[in-house]
A and B are shown apart, each in its own frame.
Chain A
Amino acid sequence: MNDDNDPNNFNPRDNYESSKQAVGYIPRKKAYQADYDRVGFKSGLEVHQQLKTKKKLFCNCPAGLYNPKDEYDAEVIRHMRPTLSELGEYDGTALMEFKTRKQIIYRIKNETACTYDIDDTPPFPLNQEALDIALEISLLCKLNIVGEVHIIRKQYLDGSIPTGFQRTAILGIEGEIQLRNKKVKLIQLSIEEDSCREISDVGHVRIYQTDRLGMPLIETVTYPDFTSPDEVREGAEYIRFLNRSTGRVNIGIGSGREDVNVSCRGGSRVEIKGVSHNKWIPELTHNEVFRQWALLKIRDMLEKKVKNKSLWKIKSKPIEPSGLDLTWAPVQEAKNKKFKFVVINLPHFQGILSHFTQPGKMFADELSDRLKVIACIEKPNMLHSEELEPRLSVEQREKIGRMLNSLKGDAQILLWGPEEDIPTAIETIEERCGLAFEGVPRESRKSFLDGTTIFERVLPGPDRMYPDTDSCPIPLDDEYIEAMKNKLPKDVCDRYSQLRKWGIPSDTYYYILRNNLVPILEKIIDDLAIDPRFTGTLFGHVLKHIEGRNSASPEFCYERVYKLLKFLKEKGINRELAKSMLPLIYENPRIDFDSVLSAVGYIKIPEKKILRKISSIQREAVKLGITQEKGAQERWIMGQLREVALGSVSMEALNINVKKHILEEYSREKDHD
């Protein structure tokens, strides 16, 4: 046990480890459902999906064209200012973003952005093609379709949209999706314009490019029905497959992004933003639920330590860095930039700063993250009394403590930044520490590859909605909806059971659904009467393998596989040969199949002739000492024959014959004996 009354005896590393244990943090690989039930894991999804349209949602710019970030024709500068919502309230995020006083620069390339994109022209009518696709997906989600679409402005003051708001509209509410073991309810589906891509965010300047801006996007929002990290991922995959089952959505990098809402029991909704790969979801949600659990532990500790939290106050003082004689390079750099230095005392915060929050992170990181985002001070922006690798010596820490008249059990921070940002920085520290008494702040967080997250902004509420006075409502009449219902693709859950019924191995499902291959499988199986299992693995194993190793030609489409199988069937060539032919076709989709046949060295040999070869090859095997132990001889003979046999005889038939032959030989030998 550490002696809390003696700062010299306090060991941050021990505190970090013991707090991690007290929280009950375990790596995800070792976690069971019971662990998630213990902390009350709860999660919901907001799945974003770009629609495949020719034009953007509210203007006539081409959709889906991207420019390299340093290629632009002009720049425009904007500042964002909070405005009232329709119900007469200011939004919390809006006020925070205003505090950061960011200068937003938009880079414009003429071919991908127009005056609408930079908010110098009012919107054109909503893209009908996009509305069609979004409505089709809404119906697949079994949503209650609205009678009239109302375009709303949703405020975003981070600058990611030059207007300061996103034009968005609800198409349906209250739907559901069927996962393996449960139904998950959907809150709503909206159609919206995509935001800018961020290029950089340093100090008070944030730069965006405007090519992606305005592309049609849908957002499917679920209720917080997920109770484990893997279940969240399953839900995300399902919605992604559902969107793709229309064949009318974009599938490239960044075309599907998830915001994942997570909370623990007693925690708050925290949104992990812009997760572009579903496989990252489990680790991120796992860590987030434990981060919240840790913050609740911190709250409980503070409740015990601080009798009257309304009297709790920080104390700050400017300091000359020379007085501390710090040689650490970032501090030297800050001194060179003429930054101001401030020391802050946090009463009773000993043991809190080094308290575990996420793997490799502690409460102090929550402070530093906010300094970067809200006060715009680049990291490293602070040192404190509980570093695991102390940059401040015991003497330096004591000196700071004396300056602030700190008491035993207090913690101290040394922060620095441009003079004009210091007041916001001090406010930010006080605000975040104050929130520690409440538990888990509602915020949105940015994710990292290692599964941890950092503060991005305060979570906005419904107070950022405002009707778009530039657009008219769009009625959706029954005839339009009924006509669309008649041409809907099959449900994803039905596709799963179809795949199972076909007897296709389950390790191919992900690939097949991700690429929306069920319709083409169906066509091959029905039209060409080809074995479903063969067809499924041809895509889910063979083609997947080829994709991983070869570079795709942009002209390749799955329809070519159908054409290939049809060609083989008509020529009376065994379909097995498709496996050898596919790599070439994948790279050169336009090549004619006859050329591929000669390229893979196919010569039609009568089946009998091939089967006759078995005995001579078997003899050779015996000569080489290859016995039938563990089926070695059989494999060797198959290997010798594969190349000549491919296309002329099915591997299955050949294998039966080889087996038969070996069996006969062995029994003959036995007879001899």
Chain B
Amino acid sequence: MTDDSFQGYQGRALAALKKHSVRVWGKVRADTTRGVFEGTILPRSESDDDQHIVLKIATGYNIGVNIDTIKDMQESGYKKANYQIPEKEFPYSDDKPNIKLFGTGGTIASRLDYRTGAVIPAFSPGELYGAVPELADICNITTEKLFGVFSENMGPKEYKILAEAIGKEIKNGIDGVIIGHGTDTLHHTAAALTFMIQDQPIPIILVGSQRSSDRPSSDAALNLMHASYAAGHSDIAETMICMFGPTSDEYGFLHRGTRVRKMHSSYRSAFRTIGDIPLAKVTRDSVELIKSSYKPRRKDKKVTILPYFEEKVSIVYYYPNMRPDIIDSLVDNGYRGIVIAGTGLGHVNKPLYPALERASEKGVAVYMTVQTLWGYVHMYVYETGRDMMDLGVIPAENMLPEVAYIKLGWALGQTDDLDKVKEIMLLPINDEITEREPYNGYLIYQGGVPEVEEFIKKFHK
């Protein structure tokens, strides 16, 4: 028997399988001190213990049998399951826009992985069409799987590959690009692509799902339809994130890639534009503008690709009682840029000052953002702020901390000249810094207030 015969089983459980000459996908009868159990042996998640064997019984349920209770076990058959989304050729029609969907992993299309017990990405136009046939009514889709990683494993290397690949598609005349991506770091990638791909003529849309597509109530299908419609039909030629507006299956938002953030660990409506309003509302057959100023779609195939990134950049989330050695160790480890998420208007405590001064002297670029997320850094308001600027800390206006981190990495990837870096950092490419904050850019309603309750009851959440 091959290794595959014991998928996920380890230690004592593996020994038990071998002892009784049974294998994964074998139909077995286990005679135990708790009675007889019959079923098909399933693979086991690697993170589970080595005391149990998993059986799928006739009624379709799974159960675990403790190996210490097994008196005898016999295999009477074998049938391997084939978990595959049915593939159907994606239909092409001349009158529909051509969309390229890049796969990076994540939950937008996924299937079961026994080894980890989690879902792994599955992805091809055929599978996609098999799972979401409505896509064919919206556009023609071709796909390319660039890598299969979970969102948290996306990094500079992947940003660059993505930017180059998208650049190539644009030059080939594609009408829109969609990137399927895990949601955890969706906004980091959105910022990176905003900086690396500039002046594109078409929409570039990042999309994910908060509920994996192996669930009937998944938001994946609808997100994909929204993203496809926006990529193929909208006039907004920017890098955007397309995710649920409300948690209900109603409409999505297009968020500008530099002003968006995941604000809830599990809600479908986790992505919110911060300090501004979303670009547009999108349904499966419409895009309704919310913001009037945007970069419009063009007919040409021109684009600038700037695939640079300095990896020695860090983000430091300040907390009271932070010790200077945190900053020192970054500097000593050769970091070239530090983004601080400071308290309030952009502050850290005094004991950090010498360390900041040392960083500055060593040529490390230090930028200040706010952990309040909403609002600007204002280092002139208090004396401490002014002191810090004297130490070389540069306020990053109302740039979101994660966006500042990505931009600093991108800037330092292009030049060692800190003045040049500062110029790049403070000159907004697409609203990562805005001149003004609209009054409705900060809306955090509080439940319990009668007028808010009335609103919540009347409109779908």
- A residues whose Cβ falls under 8 Å from a Cβ of B: 72-88, 90, 94, 110, 115, 118-122, 143-150, 152-157, 162-165, 168-170, 173-174, 187-188, 190, 221, 461-467, 469, 472-473, 475, 477-478
- Decide if B299 is an interface residue (CB 8 Å cutoff): no
Determine the distance from Cα of A352 to Cα of B49 in the docked complex, in whole angstroms: 59
Is the beta-carbon distance between A462 and B217 smaller than 8 angstroms?
Answer: no
Is the beta-carbon distance between B37 and A469 smaller than 8 angstroms?
Answer: no
Nearest neighbor of B456 in chain A, beta-carbon distance = A74
Is the beta-carbon distance between A77 and B59 smaller than 8 angstroms?
Answer: no
Is the beta-carbon distance between A475 and B119 smaller than 8 angstroms?
Answer: no
Residues of B within 8 A of A120 (CB): 247, 264, 266-268
Instruction: Tell me which of B110-118, B165-173, B304-312 binds A.
Output: B110-118
Listed by A's residue number, 6 A-B pairs whose Cβ atoms lie within 8 Å are A77-B248, A83-B218, A148-B64, A150-B62, A168-B61, A463-B60
Is the beta-carbon distance between A83 and B64 smaller than 8 angstroms?
Answer: no
Which of the residues B36, B52, B213, B457 comes within 8 Å of A83, measured between beta carbons?
A: B213
Nearest neighbor of B221 in chain A, beta-carbon distance = A81
Is the beta-carbon distance between A164 and B37 smaller than 8 angstroms?
Answer: no
- Decide if B69 is an interface residue (CB 8 Å cutoff): yes
Going nearest first, the 4 A-B pairs with the smallest beta carbon separation are A148-B64, A164-B216, A144-B35, A462-B60
- Decide if B440 is an interface residue (CB 8 Å cutoff): no
Instruction: Tell me which of B82-90, B155-163, B342-350, B352-360 binds A.
Output: B82-90
Which of the residues A163, A164, A174, A465 comes within 8 Å of B61, measured between beta carbons?
A: A465
Min Cβ gap B266→A in Å is 5
Is the beta-carbon distance between B216 and A469 smaller than 8 angstroms?
Answer: no
Nearest neighbor of B122 in chain A, beta-carbon distance = A84
Nearest neighbor of A461 in chain B, beta-carbon distance = B60
Is the beta-carbon distance between A475 and B51 smaller than 8 angstroms?
Answer: yes
Determine the distance from Cα of A174 to Cα of B63 in the docked complex, in whole angstroms: 13
Residues of B within 8 A of A73 (CB): 453, 456-457
- Decide if B66 is an interface residue (CB 8 Å cutoff): yes
Is the beta-carbon distance between B66 and A162 smaller than 8 angstroms?
Answer: no
Residues of B within 8 A of A464 (CB): 60
Is the beta-carbon distance between A87 and B64 smaller than 8 angstroms?
Answer: no
Is the beta-carbon distance between A87 and B81 smaller than 8 angstroms?
Answer: yes
- Decide if B58 is an interface residue (CB 8 Å cutoff): yes
Min Cβ gap A479→B in Å is 12
Which of the residues A83, A143, A174, A461 comes within 8 Å of B215, measured between beta carbons?
A: A83
Min Cβ gap B103→A in Å is 19
Which of the residues A115, A149, A163, A473 comes within 8 Å of B217, measured between beta carbons?
A: A163
Is the beta-carbon distance between A144 and B457 smaller than 8 angstroms?
Answer: no
Min Cβ gap B460→A in Å is 5
Residues of A within 8 A of B249 (CB): 77-79
Is the beta-carbon distance between A467 and B216 smaller than 8 angstroms?
Answer: no
Nearest neighbor of A106 in chain B, beta-carbon distance = B248
Which of the residues B57, B59, B83 comes within 8 Å of A86, measured between beta carbons?
A: B83
Residues of A within 8 A of B456 (CB): 73-74
Min Cβ gap B451→A in Å is 14
Is the beta-carbon distance between B460 and A77 smaller than 8 angstroms?
Answer: yes
Residues of A within 8 A of B37 (CB): 144, 146, 173
Interface of B is mostly: loop
Is the beta-carbon distance between B460 and A188 smaller than 8 angstroms?
Answer: no
Given the known interface contacts A75-B461, A76-B247, A148-B52, the answer about A81 and B218 at a Cβ–Cβ threshold of 8 Å is: yes
- Decide if B34 is an interface residue (CB 8 Å cutoff): yes
Min Cβ gap B45→A in Å is 8
Residues of B within 8 A of A94 (CB): 216
Pick the most buried of A76, A122, A187: most chain B CB atoms within 10 A of its CB. Answer: A76
Determine the distance from Cα of A162 to Cα of B216 in the docked complex, in whole angstroms: 9
Is the beta-carbon distance between A80 and B64 smaller than 8 angstroms?
Answer: no
- Decide if B56 is an interface residue (CB 8 Å cutoff): yes
Determine the distance from Cα of A208 to Cα of B34 in the docked complex, in whole angstroms: 41
- Decide if B214 is an interface residue (CB 8 Å cutoff): yes
Determine the distance from Cα of A475 to Cα of B69 in the docked complex, in whole angstroms: 13
Nearest neighbor of A168 in chain B, beta-carbon distance = B61
Residues of A within 8 A of B63 (CB): 146-150, 170, 173
Given the known interface contacts A84-B111, A467-B117, A469-B117, the answer about A78 and B60 at a Cβ–Cβ threshold of 8 Å is: no
Min Cβ gap A90→B in Å is 8
Residues of B within 8 A of A150 (CB): 54, 61-64
Residues of A within 8 A of B66 (CB): 147-148, 475, 477
Q: Bits for B234-266, please: 1 = Cβ < 8 Å to A, else 0.
A: 000000000000111110000000000000101
Is the beta-carbon distance between B217 and A164 smaller than 8 angstroms?
Answer: yes
Pick the most buried of A81, A168, A464, A478: most chain B CB atoms within 10 A of its CB. Answer: A81
Residues of A within 8 A of B264 (CB): 120
Determine the distance from Cα of A119 to Cα of B219 in the docked complex, in whole angstroms: 11
Nearest neighbor of B113 in chain A, beta-carbon distance = A469
Determine the distance from Cα of A79 to Cα of B457 in the docked complex, in whole angstroms: 20
Residues of A within 8 A of B36 (CB): 144, 174
Determine the distance from Cα of A469 to Cα of B63 in the docked complex, in whole angstroms: 14
Nearest neighbor of A221 in chain B, beta-carbon distance = B59
Nearest neighbor of A77 in chain B, beta-carbon distance = B248
Is the beta-carbon distance between A87 and B216 smaller than 8 angstroms?
Answer: no
Residues of B within 8 A of A154 (CB): 60
- Decide if B48 is an interface residue (CB 8 Å cutoff): yes
- Decide if B149 is an interface residue (CB 8 Å cutoff): no
Min Cβ gap A166→B in Å is 11
Min Cβ gap B83→A in Å is 4
Pick the most buried of B83, B84, B215: most chain A CB atoms within 10 A of its CB. Answer: B215
Residues of B within 8 A of A77 (CB): 248-250, 460
Residues of B within 8 A of A164 (CB): 215-218
Min Cβ gap B316→A in Å is 30
Residues of A within 8 A of B217 (CB): 78, 80-81, 119, 162-164
- Given contact pairs A76-B246, A88-B81, enumerate 13 new A-B contacts (beta carbons under 8 Å): A74-B456, A74-B460, A75-B248, A83-B214, A83-B215, A88-B82, A118-B247, A120-B267, A144-B32, A148-B54, A162-B217, A170-B63, A469-B112
Determine the distance from Cα of A163 to Cα of B266 in the docked complex, in whole angstroms: 13
Is the beta-carbon distance between A475 and B34 smaller than 8 angstroms?
Answer: no
Is the beta-carbon distance between A147 and B52 smaller than 8 angstroms?
Answer: yes
Is the beta-carbon distance between A472 and B218 smaller than 8 angstroms?
Answer: no
Is the beta-carbon distance between B216 and A163 smaller than 8 angstroms?
Answer: yes
Residues of B within 8 A of A118 (CB): 247
Min Cβ gap B385→A in Å is 38
Min Cβ gap A515→B in Å is 32
Determine the distance from Cα of A175 to Cα of B119 in the docked complex, in whole angstroms: 35
Determine the distance from Cα of A628 to Cα of B64 in the docked complex, in whole angstroms: 75
Nearest neighbor of B213 in chain A, beta-carbon distance = A83
Residues of A within 8 A of B218 (CB): 81, 83, 164
Residues of B within 8 A of A472 (CB): 48
Min Cβ gap A548→B in Å is 41
Min Cβ gap A237→B in Å is 24
Which of the residues B58, B64, B267, B453 comes within 8 Å of A475, measured between beta carbons?
A: B64
Q: Bits for B254-296, please: 1 = Cβ < 8 Å to A, else 0.
A: 0000000000101110000000000000000000000000000
Pick the most buried of B60, B212, B249, B460: most chain A CB atoms within 10 A of its CB. Answer: B60
Determine the distance from Cα of A84 to Cα of B32 in the docked complex, in whole angstroms: 32
Given the known interface contacts A115-B267, A170-B57, the answer about A88 and B84 at a Cβ–Cβ threshold of 8 Å is: yes
- Decide if B422 is an interface residue (CB 8 Å cutoff): no
Given the known interface contacts A79-B249, A119-B217, the answer about A149 and B64 at a Cβ–Cβ threshold of 8 Å is: yes
Determine the distance from Cα of A119 to Cα of B42 in the docked complex, in whole angstroms: 27
Min Cβ gap A109→B in Å is 11
Residues of A within 8 A of B58 (CB): 462
Min Cβ gap B199→A in Å is 38
Is the beta-carbon distance between A122 and B61 smaller than 8 angstroms?
Answer: no
Determine the distance from Cα of A163 to Cα of B215 in the docked complex, in whole angstroms: 7
Residues of B within 8 A of A478 (CB): 69
Is the beta-carbon distance between A473 and B216 smaller than 8 angstroms?
Answer: no
Residues of B within 8 A of A153 (CB): 215
Determine the distance from Cα of A322 to Cα of B60 in the docked complex, in whole angstroms: 53
- Decide if B301 is an interface residue (CB 8 Å cutoff): no
Given the known interface contacts A74-B461, A147-B65, A170-B57, the answer about A86 and B216 at a Cβ–Cβ threshold of 8 Å is: no
Determine the distance from Cα of A72 to Cα of B453 in the docked complex, in whole angstroms: 10
Determine the distance from Cα of A462 to Cα of B85 in the docked complex, in whole angstroms: 18
Given the known interface contacts A75-B460, A76-B460, A87-B83, the answer about A466 and B214 at a Cβ–Cβ threshold of 8 Å is: yes
